[in-house]
Structure 1
């Protein structure tokens, strides 16, 4: 039974930095799944005329050369939104990060935002499991193969498998439109208007 997951778009951004206001998406990917069947997939580099800082290349493997012939930001975003659809459930690991970049990109290009429902697999991970909660760690905990972490499509595939494993373990319905944040850091500066914020503390394995 798919239930809440009958129409899902899992997406991921690789970015030039951590600020959704000042930095840019340099690679994006998305997979749309309806009733358990993949119906569409999108992946592209995004043209970026500023030299990447070495840390980003080190983390993602993306170089300036990859981005020279990337799709321009507006067309990339329009293609992404076509895959997402206006009401499809959006899913990401650390969704606050990706949703913020989505919002600022849409607003910069067209002065609009999104109101899709969403689920954050990181929030669920923090509630259900002990630290650490990176996508790589979570896929390891659920015995999900993940190759090429920190590349958009590979991260999307890993997040989709993680979402399905979590939902099979215990339905994720209660986590619709909820964003967890660590109490010690306080709530995020930006979050979707329809998001419910959940203060959380990390759980650790006993030593």
Structure 2
């Protein structure tokens, strides 16, 4: 019996829609976990809607279309939602299923801070020693096709790899597209990815992301931009005060 490459096996995919882009301060509004056991197979979807407890800024509403009125009427307490999401991710980690997260340091860090904000511990607390085997299509593409010009948003990458993205900026739609995108990247770059285990790939992406962040930081420095680039992947470490909380 011929063994398959990791991108031809079970994959899970996680995405959130939020109140903004600051992982330290912004809140989860909606989330989705999509699981597929084989390419072309049925998709198992879990979705969450939270009332973040703060007004959703106009810019965020314009992106995902979720209003304050909608979350007040249909959303659940943010602590309960964050805990359920973390338990669902931990379940995939214990099963050894690779977890696709587009721009992982954003979604995973924001979830971690949401857990801490509500006194639930950290994402690591919920993992309880299990390891998330993260696959970040953004990191993969930037490493495997580093000299290609153009943007590398989910929409752009789906167009480049021929993946259909229906209903962008809906958490379930984005998670589904990211999962299919990873399969497409695996097929196109089979020679580079085919013999790599999910655990080894996770470690390599950490190195690749650090190199990509270093290159971006050097570009910012040359251009006189004060912006700082975090090299951590797939999760940014919390401040010490948060660790002690």
Give the TM-score normalised by structure 1: 0.81
TM-aligned CA deviation for residue 22 of structure 1: 1.0
Q: Write the distance in 2 (CA, Å) between the matches of 1:25 and 1:79.
A: 12
- After the TM superposition, which residues 144-155 of structure 1 pair with which residues of structure 2 at under 5 Å, given as runs? 144-155=163-174
Partner residue in 2 for 1:58: 62
Higher strand share: 1
* 1:100–1:190 contact (8 Å) kept in structure 2: no
Matched, 1:137 2:156: yes
Q: Deviations over 1:47-90 (max 9, x none)?
A: 12211111111112121122112122222223323432143322
Partner residue in 2 for 1:203: none
| 3-state SS in 2 of match to 1:30 | strand
Matched, 1:165 2:170: no
Structure 1 residue runs without a partner (length 5+): 196-207
Matched, 1:31 2:50: no
Q: Write the distance in 2 (CA, Å) between the matches of 1:77 and 1:38.
A: 26
| 3-state SS in 1 of match to 2:216 | coil
Q: Deviations over 1:139-186 (max 9, x none)?
A: 111121112211111101110110111111224436324242432336
Structure 2 residue runs without a partner (length 5+): 125-130, 218-227, 238-245
Greater Cα radius of gyration, structure 1 or 2: 2
* 2:11–2:179 contact (8 Å) kept in structure 1: no
Partner residue in 1 for 2:221: none
Partner residue in 1 for 2:121: 111
Higher mean alpha-carbon deviation, 175-184 vs 92-101, is at 175-184
Higher helix share: 2
Give the TM-score normalised by structure 2: 0.70
Q: Write the distance in 2 (CA, Å) between the matches of 1:3 and 1:65.
A: 45
TM-aligned CA deviation for residue 191 of structure 1: 4.0
Partner residue in 2 for 1:4: 6
